[in-house]
């Protein structure tokens, strides 16, 4: 039965103001509950000012119910302040209003009455409610004491409903704010109890016609089981843990009594006890009372079996002596998982790495992992504080009650986890090791930054190389222009100093011969002979100048033959140096400029090996390929630092000349050398056309 069907809000249960209150000016102020209750419906609707002081006997804003009682009686007060609690002494300021059957206290214009908290109050003396009193309006909103038998216990909306029989009259007792994960107080079923609460009269509905009244309880502590019933239950002999397995569990479970030491208590659910002989047992109960780990208890309840283990449900308990909690059993997560039967219900210490932390209004949870075993730790913030923010990856040591088997309530362990630990306080979590700075997220960030910096560096290198290439091109162009200018100057100087002067001399000799010819033919003939000699000398000088502009060695032969004839005289003065020329591929004639520069590169490389490196062995190789020609000069001389020499090639005209000639041919120059290891000079030049046999 839903609680809303039997206890509606104030408008349906006790009645809301039926109309607009008239002007209250001139009306006397009422200072007691009795004065308000004695008003007729018409008088109450006039809105008498009310100022009174009393104790809140029941307050539940979600049910729209609030009752206050003073020495003269109890009354409904329209106030839904969430900070007000039952048992608080308050001052009420409002006006009278007409309820469904009796007057109530409300605020002006149908609003809420003002309630000011004073402090803890003293509960009033309850009225013993008889069956006759339950059926009349006189007991409505009064603080009463009812004795009856509980016939049914059920959940209703966000609370608990007890169905009672009081001398043949049905009565429902309602407790609000009963957590969904708490066990129902089934231990009250069938018991004769005394309950203290506020009596209300619900509006008639099809479901509540047989219900004459509803008793609103501030908490379950307002329900007391008859002492004689408890005494009779605890007169049973206490059973041992092994004896519990001998009971036959039928449709009607037996009522048994056990004794043991509390291992862990969870309010609203129950507690674990360790019985004589080492057996751990779960006692399920929502009976009020605070238990501490280590205390010895006496419990009576219904014996059931859950997941092949005995449990005690709907139990009464009483503390029979103090004690100290047992030390934890230190084990690894894999050992706990492997020994589920022995581990369940024990106080355990285990280590693990924190994977996740979550926090809700009802509990703190930790997800941990150890050697591939994932488990869960839970802490209820019931006055013991809450866990601090922990960093993922921390190595933790935890102490708590271990649960491996299924439990007889909704909060069973999800299949993802091997087991769970119930923690008693934040002190049960100890940090053993902080996580490494090298987390996956930080590694990804570092890799990203490294890639970004690498990309920027690569871009900078590319730009720098382009800049250097442009500068080299500019320098090469300038040197080429300077070389052309120098060559022109040299040619002009030679023509002027040799050929020009000789032509002048020849002209003078011819003029002398012409002048002497009529008078002295013999002298004229001598002048002509001198002119002939000067002409032959001029021809020789002209040939020499032209030879400097073009390698005449290539006029009648190919590159390898011309190269061999040119480099042999360079090695001959060294005496002991051995020269070897090797030709690979099919030799063919190349463009004149290509052969000319390759010839000069080979000549320069061999000259350097013979003069500067003092090499004993020089190998020259010319390799003809389909699309390129490779010239390589290799020696075993003393070598040099090639990287440093190439970096400062501006001061080494030989290397710079080699590089310039290779660049003119759009080729690749490679110089490999280290001090004491010899030198390899190689140039690769692209060529057009295919080899011809």
- Residue 439 pLDDT more than 50? yes
CA–CA separation, 280 and 347 (whole Å) = 10
User: Per mean pLDDT, which range of 31-45, 417-431, 442-456, 645-659 is the poorest?
Assistant: 645-659
CB 67 within 8 A of CB 56: yes
Pairing of strands 223-225, 280-284: unpaired
Query: Is the pLDDT score of 167 beyond 50?
Result: yes
Q: How many residues does the chain have?
A: 693
Confidence bin at 378 (pLDDT 50/70/90): very high
Same domain as 381, residue 292: no
Note the pLDDT of residue 574: 56
Identify whether 692 is part of a domain: no
Give the Cα-Cα-Cα angle 585, 683, 647 (nearest 5 degrees): 165
Same domain assignment for residues 215 and 238: no
Residue 74 — φ and ψ, nearest 5°?
-120, 155
Mean pLDDT of 58-80: 93
State both tokens at 651.
Answer: 């001061």
Does residue 14 surpass a pLDDT of 50? no
Q: What are phi and psi of 25, to 5 degrees?
A: -65, 135
Give me the half-sphere count of Cα atoms (radius 13 Å) on the Cβ side of residue 473: 7
Closest C-alpha among 313, 271, 269 to residue 294: 271
pLDDT tens string 296-337? 999 999 999 888 889 999 999 999 999 888 889 999 999 999
Distances (CA, A) of 443 to 395, 433, 437, 447, 571: 20, 20, 9, 6, 61
How far apart are the C-alpha atoms of 680 and 678, rounded to whole Å? 7
Residues 79 and 128 in one domain: yes
Residue 351 placed within a domain: yes
Which of 311, 309, 373 lies closest to 341, judged by CA? 309
If you ran DSSP here, which 8-state letter would residue 427 be given?
G
Asked whether residue 485 is assigned to any structural domain, the reply reads: yes
> Which pLDDT belongs to residue 137?
73
Summary mean pLDDT of the chain? 83
Q: How confident is the model at residue 211 (pLDDT cuts 50, 70, 90)?
A: low
Share of the chain above pLDDT 70, in %: 84
Does residue 4 lie in a domain region? yes
Helix H or strand E encompassing 573:
none
* Domain end (from 389, 409, 433): 433
Could you tell me if residue 691 is inside a domain?
no
The reported pLDDT for the residue numbered 456 is 92
Report, as an integer, the average pLDDT of 665-677: 88
Predicted confidence (pLDDT) at residue 231 exceeds the cutoff of 50 = yes
Q: For residue 608, give the 3-state DSSP assignment.
A: helix
Q: For residue 501, is pLDDT > 70?
A: no
pLDDT at 655: 76
For residue 171, count CB atoms less than 10 angstroms from its CB and return exposed for 0-12, middle for 13-18, buried for 19 or more: buried
Phi–psi pair at 237, nearest 5 degrees: -70, 140
Do 272 and 417 lie in a common domain? no
Q: For 309-386, where are the alpha helices, taking DSSP H only?
A: 333-338, 340-343
- Does one domain contain both 3 and 86? yes
Q: Is there a single domain that holds both residue 57 and residue 154? A: yes
72 and 196 fall within a common domain: yes
The set of residues, in sequence order, having a beta carbon less than 8 Å from that of 21 and lying 6+ positions away, is: 45, 46, 47, 95, 97, 108, 109
Alpha-carbon distance 371 to 331, whole Å? 13
Q: Are 184 and 409 in contact (CB under 8 A)?
A: no
Q: Are residues 195 and 267 in the same domain?
A: no
Residues 648 and 543 in one domain: no
User: What's 417's domain CATH number?
Assistant: 2.40.50.550
Confidence of residue 573 (pLDDT cuts 50, 70, 90): low
What is the pLDDT, as a whole number, of residue 651?
Answer: 38
What is the reported pLDDT for 348? 94
Of 20-29, 170-179, 257-266, which gets the smallest average pLDDT?
20-29
Among candidate residues 501, 532, 549, the one where a domain is terminated? 549
pLDDT at 12: 38
Identify whether residues 73 and 55 lie together within a single domain: yes
Same domain, 492 and 396: no
Provide the pairing of β-strand 668-673 with 103-106: unpaired
- Do residues 293 and 400 lie in contact, with contact meaning Cβ atoms separated by under 8 Å? no
The larger pLDDT score, comparing residue 267 to residue 30, is at 30
User: Confidence band (pLDDT; 50, 70, 90) for 586?
Assistant: confident
CATH code where residue 264 lies:
2.40.50.200
Rounded CA separation 238/270 (Å) = 19
The answer on pLDDT for 554 being more than 90 is no
* Boundary (domain end) residue, out of 521, 549, 577: 549
- Alpha carbon distance 671, 661 (integer Å): 14
Domain encompassing residue 257: 229-321
The verdict on residue 693 lying in a domain is no
pLDDT at 330: 93
Q: For residues 652 and 440, which has the higher predicted lDDT (pLDDT)?
A: 440
The tally of domains found in the chain comes to 5
Q: What per-residue confidence (pLDDT) applies to 547? A: 52
Query: Is the residue at 270 inside a domain?
Result: yes
Residue 447 domain-assigned? Answer: yes
Residues 315, 459, single domain; the answer is no
Cα–Cα distance, 271 to 345 (Å, whole number): 10
């Amino acid at each position: 039965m839903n609680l809303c069907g039997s206890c509606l809000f104030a408008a349906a249960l006790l009645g809301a103001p039926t109309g607009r209150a008239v002007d209250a000016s001139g009306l006397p102020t009422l200072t007691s509950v009795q004065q308000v209750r004695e008003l007729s419906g018409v008088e109450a609707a006039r809105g008498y000012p009310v100022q009174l002081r009393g104790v809140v006997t029941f307050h539940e804003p979600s049910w729209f119910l609030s009752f206050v009682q003073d020495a003269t009686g109890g009354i409904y007060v329209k106030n839904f302040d969430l900070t007000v609690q039952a048992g608080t002494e308050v001052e009420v300021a409002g006006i009278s209003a007409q309820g469904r059957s009796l007057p109530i206290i409300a605020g002006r214009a149908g609003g809420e009455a003002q309630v000011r908290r004073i402090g803890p109050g003293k509960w009033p003396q309850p009225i013993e409610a008889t069956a006759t009193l339950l059926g009349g309006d006189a007991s409505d909103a009064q603080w009463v004491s009812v004795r009856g038998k509980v016939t049914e216990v059920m959940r209703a909306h966000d609370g608990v409903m007890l169905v009672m029989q009081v001398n043949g009259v049905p009565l429902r007792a309602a407790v609000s704010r009963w957590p969904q994960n708490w066990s129902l107080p089934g231990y009250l079923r069938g018991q004769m109890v005394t309950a203290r609460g506020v009596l209300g009269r619900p509006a008639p509905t099809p479901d509540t016609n047989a219900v004459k009244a509803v008793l609103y309880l501030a908490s379950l502590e307002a329900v007391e089981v008859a002492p004689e019933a408890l005494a009779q239950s605890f007169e049973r002999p206490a059973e041992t843990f092994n004896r519990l397995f001998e009971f036959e569990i039928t449709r009607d479970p037996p009522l048994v009594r056990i004794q043991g030491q509390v291992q862990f208590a969870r309010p609203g659910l129950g507690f674990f006890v360790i019985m004589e002989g080492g057996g751990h047992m779960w006692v399920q109960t929502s009976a009020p009372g605070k238990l501490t780990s280590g205390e010895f208890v006496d419990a009576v309840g219904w014996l059931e079996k859950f997941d092949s283990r005995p449990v005690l449900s709907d139990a009464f308990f009483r503390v029979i002596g103090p004690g100290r909690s047992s030390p934890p059993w230190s084990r690894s997560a894999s050992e706990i998982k492997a020994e589920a039967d022995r581990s369940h219900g024990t106080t355990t210490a285990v280590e693990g790495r924190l994977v996740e932390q979550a926090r809700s209004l009802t509990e703190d949870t930790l997800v941990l992992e150890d050697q591939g075993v994932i488990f869960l730790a839970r802490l209820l913030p019931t006055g013991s504080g809450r866990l601090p923010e922990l960093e993922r990856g921390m190595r933790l040591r935890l102490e708590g009650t271990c649960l491996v088997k299924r439990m007889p309530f909704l909060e069973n362990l999800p299949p993802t986890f091997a087991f769970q630990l119930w923690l008693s306080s934040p002190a049960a979590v100890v940090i053993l090791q902080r996580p490494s700075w090298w987390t996956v997220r930080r590694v990804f960030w570092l890799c990203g930054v490294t890639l970004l910096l690498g990309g920027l560096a690569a871009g900078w290198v590319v730009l720098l190389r382009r800049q250097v290439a442009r500068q080299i091109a500019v320098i090469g162009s300038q040197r080429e222009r300077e070389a052309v200018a120098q060559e022109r100057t040299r040619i002009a100087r030679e023509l002027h100093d040799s050929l020009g002067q000789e032509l002048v001399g020849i002209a003078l000799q011819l003029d002398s011969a012409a002048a002497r010819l009529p008078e002295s033919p013999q002298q004229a003939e001598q002048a002509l002979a001198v002119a002939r000699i000067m002409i032959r000398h001029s021809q020789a000088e002209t040939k020499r100048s032209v030879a400097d502009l073009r390698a005449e060695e290539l006029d009648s032969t190919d590159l390898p033959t011309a190269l061999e004839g040119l480099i042999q005289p360079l090695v001959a003065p060294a005496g002991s140096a051995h020269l070897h020329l090797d030709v690979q591929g099919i030799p063919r004639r190349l463009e004149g400029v290509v052969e000319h520069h390759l010839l000069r590169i080979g000549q320069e490389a061999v000259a350097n090996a013979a003069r500067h490196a003092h090499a004993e062995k020089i190998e020259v190789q010319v390799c003809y390929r389909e699309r390129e020609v490779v010239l390589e000069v290799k020696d075993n001389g003393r070598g040099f630092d090639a990287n440093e020499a190439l970096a400062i090639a501006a001061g080494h005209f030989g290397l710079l000349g080699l590089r310039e000639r290779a660049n003119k041919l759009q080729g690749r120059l490679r110089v490999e050398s280290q001090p004491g290891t010899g030198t390899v000079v190689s140039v690769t030049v692209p060529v057009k056309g295919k080899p011809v046999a």
